[in-house]
Amino acid sequence: MTTLQELLQQIESHIPQFEKMNPAVSQSTVGWQLDHSLLVINGVITQLKSATPENYKWQFKWIRIYIQITNTIPRGKVRAPKTVTPVKVASTEDLKAKLEQAKKNIAELESLPPNSYFTHPFFGNLNLKATIWFLKLHTKHHLRIVNDIINKG
């Protein structure tokens, strides 16, 4: 099983190729994909840390169930919310700083209550366990795009 730390190592290994682009795969660069992934990780964990666990309520969402069963995010079907859309081209320094913050945030996950949660725009409320699943799935999705940008040139 891939851990979030292992996924961060993969992100780190791709930072030197941040300017690479392949319009046949994506209109964005490797750097955009990495930046978006790090913005999501850091933003979601920040929400988890500020959540009130007593307020967590599980919600049935068919789209979440479908994605959990297929364990994949379809490409090109959804646009990233503005809060996690990079607004400028990140430099290697920016990416490294966000990566270091993500490492710290991920290390803090173990100390959070199980009903810490964040509200996903499509999946609804995700508790700690479901959030970790989502972060892995989302990061793997963008790393696959990164690998395709790099390798299908």
Domain ranges of the chain: 4-151
Distance set, CA 149 to CA 2, 24, 84, 86, 101 (Å): 22, 8, 20, 18, 25
pLDDT digits (tens, 9 = 90+) for 17-38: 999 999 999 999 999 999 999 9
pTM for the whole structure: 0.94
Please give the CATH topology (third level) of the domain spanning 4-151. Four Helix Bundle (Hemerythrin (Met), subunit A) (1.20.120)
- HEC letters along 46-64: HHHHHCCHHHCCCCCCHHH
Question: Is residue 84 pLDDT above 90, yes or no?
Answer: no
Q: How many residues does the chain have?
A: 153
pLDDT-derived band at 80, boundaries 50, 70, 90: confident
pLDDT digits (tens, 9 = 90+) for 93-148: 999 999 999 999 999 999 999 999 999 999 999 999 999 999 999 999 999 999 99
Which one has a higher pLDDT value, 1 or 144?
144
